[in-house]
Amino acid sequence: MKQIEKDELYTYLSQFLKNKGIELKEGSYTKGIHAGCSLLVDAINLSQAGLERAKTELDKQLTQVRKVIHEKTAPKTRPESTPRPNATSGTSASGTGSRPRAGKANSSNAKGRQHKETGTNRKHKRKGRP
């Protein structure tokens, strides 16, 4: 944004007051008004510069956050250097083939499992509960 000149605010203020019927003449009160306008212009210019720097820094940080989010949420790609298993060998990627593992019960056949201690299919009844 464009900076305000030192005497610009005082000039606009004196023109505004002149249009309203008040003329600022040289004196102690006009020096005070001029000094106040000068301080206000300095404060405005410094705050504009600070806001521009803050905006630039915020844009940098936002870009970094977007990059990190993209890296964390992007789909993972498989490395192409690992060889794929042959389809004619009859084994899957885990090397076990198409047969289920021995000793493992099928998860859909949960009723067929027997209790270790009693050898029955019934659930244990807890003592003290009906």
Over pLDDT 70: what percentage of the chain? 61
Residues 92-106: pLDDT tens digits? 455 555 555 555 555
CB 41 within 8 A of CB 8: yes
CB 24 within 8 A of CB 14: yes
Bigger pLDDT: 82 vs 105: 82
Largest Cα–Cα distance in the chain? Answer: 110
Residue 70 has a pLDDT of: 93
Distance (Å, rounded) from C-alpha 74 to C-alpha 68? 10
CA-based torsion, 28, 30, 35, 40: positive or negative:
positive
Distance (Å, rounded) from C-alpha 44 to C-alpha 1? 11
> Which amino acid is it at 96?
T
Residue 36 has a pLDDT of: 96
Q: How confident is the model at residue 87 (pLDDT cuts 50, 70, 90)?
A: low
How many Å separate Cα 60 from the centre of its chain? Answer: 13
Residues 1-40: pLDDT tens digits? 789 998 999 999 999 999 999 998 889 999 999 999 999 9
